[in-house]
Amino acid sequence: MSKVALSEAIQDYLKSVYKLQAEHGHVTIGALAKDQGVSPASASAMVKKLAALDLLSHERYRGAQLTAAGEGVALEVIRHHRLLELYLAKTLGLHVDAVHDEADRLEHVISEELEARIDKALGFPTHDPHGDPIPGPDLKWPG
């Protein structure tokens, strides 16, 4: 499934599920709602939508977990976000405390070509300005 066809909200939820899943395994509706700042009913509706799109699996009372497709989208959004943070800080001189919000807005709209050009211009970095790892173009974490 192409990331382009997915709304910003869907991408944000997938990124959130990825983060929560890494911390806790299966993700509860309550944890997801809290992380996204929405009601449990809204989070539940989105989980059902993501499950229908085969981006995550959900078992009642056991939580949600990303499918391989959902994980791929989440990692791509994380890669965009972290490359943008580094680009904004290193190339444009934005303070490291200001880059997160800007990257949140831009991560959904950059093309794959621009992503590759930013990656190359930065010398194929492995970590963002906060020290967090940047998934590679193959969506694998740096070794």
pLDDT band at 3 (very low <50, low <70, confident <90, very high): very low
pTM over 0.85: yes
Q: Where is pLDDT greater, at 108 or 143?
A: 108
Q: How does the average pLDDT of the chain come out, rounded?
A: 93
* CA–CA dist 116, 26 (Å, integer): 32
pLDDT in tens, 18-55: 999 999 888 999 999 999 999 999 999 999 999 999 99
Residue % of the chain over a pLDDT of 90: 89
Residue 100 CB-density burial (10 A; 0-12 exposed, 13-18 middle, 19+ buried): middle
Q: Whose CA is closest to 106, among 38, 8, 10? A: 8
Domains of the chain: 3-66 (1.10.10.10), 77-143 (1.10.60.10)
Cβ atoms of residues 12 and 49 within 8 Å:
no
What pLDDT is stored for residue 78 in this prediction? 97
pLDDT band at 5 (very low <50, low <70, confident <90, very high): confident
Q: Whose CA is closest to 27, among 47, 7, 42, 6? A: 47
* CA–CA dist 45, 47 (Å, integer): 5
Does residue 106 carry a pLDDT above 60? yes
What pLDDT is stored for residue 83 in this prediction? 97
